[in-house]
Amino acid sequence: MSPHQLKKQTRRLSRTFFARPAPEVARDLLGKLLVHKLNGHTLAGKIVEAEAYLGDDDQAAHAARRLTSRTKVLFGPPGHAYVYFIYGMYECLNLVCEPDGIAGCVLIRALEPLAGIEEMQSRRPATHRLRDLASGPGKLTLAMGITRALYGCDITRGDLQVREFSDADPVEIVTTTRVGISVSRDLPLRFYIKDNEFVSAR
C-alpha cells in the first residue's frame, strides 16, 4: 500500500473513539491501521492483536501503582501514547483509553505490515519472514521506529496515528486471557483476529 493509497482509503480515528472502556477499544482496534510517519517514510500495519489494561483493579496494569511520573499519561485525556521500556531492551506501545481521569489503555501486540515494509525490514534485519516482522509488542515497535520519545504524544493529530479503512470488512475476533504476565492472568482481555498469521501467539 502506497502512502497516497493509505491517505485516500483511510481516515484518522478521533479522540472520541478512545474515550471508551479499554476492552471495547481493544476489540475495535482490530483491523485498524497503526501508522508512523518517520524520516520521510510512512510505515503502517494492520492491528491484529491487542490487550486491554484497566485501572486499580487490574494488578497487571501499570495504573494499579497509582499516579506516578511514569504512569501520569494513563490518567490523562484519551488518545495519547504510553510507551515504556521492558527487559532492558524492548519498548511497548499502549494507547490511552477511557475518559480523562480514568486510567486504562490498550497494548498493541501485533501488526500485519502493509506499508513501508522495506524500511521496517531495515530496522529488523535479522528477520527473514514477513509474518515475524511485527508479531509481538517489542517487534512491532522496533519495526515501526516507535520509541519512548513518543511517550505522551497525541495520536489523534501527530505523526503516530491510528486510521480506519473507509469500507473495512468486519473481522472475526477471538478473546483469550492475556499472555506474558504473572498477575490478573484470568481476565479475558486479549483479542486477536481469528486465523491471522501475524498474531504473536495462539
The pLDDT assigned to 86 comes to 79
The pLDDT assigned to 135 comes to 96
Q: Rounded CA gap, 54 and 60, in Å?
A: 8
Dump pLDDT digits (tens) for 175-201. Answer: 999 988 888 788 999 999 999 999 997
Lowest-confidence segment of 5-14, 41-50, 111-120 by average pLDDT? 5-14
Q: Are 112 and 34 in contact (CB under 8 A)?
A: no
Could you give all domains of the chain from N- to C-terminal order, each with its CATH number? 3-193 (3.10.300.10)
pLDDT grade, residue 202 (50/70/90)?
low
How many helical (H) and strand (E) elements, i.e. helices and strands, does the chain have?
5, 9
For the cut 80, the answer to whether the pLDDT of residue 144 exceeds it is yes
Mean pLDDT to the nearest integer, 101-115: 95
Q: Rounded CA gap, 61 and 67, in Å?
A: 12
User: 3-state secondary structure string, the chain?
Assistant: CCHHHHHHHEEECCHHHHCCCHHHHHHHHCCCEEEEEECCEEEEEEEEEEEEECCCCCCCCHHHHCCCCCCHHHHCCCCEEEEEEECCCEEEEEEECCCCCCCCEEEEEEEEEEECHHHHHHHCCCCCCHHHCCCCHHHHHHHHCCCHHHCCCECCCCCEEEEEECCCCCCCEEEECCCCCCCCCCCCCEEEECCCCCCCCC
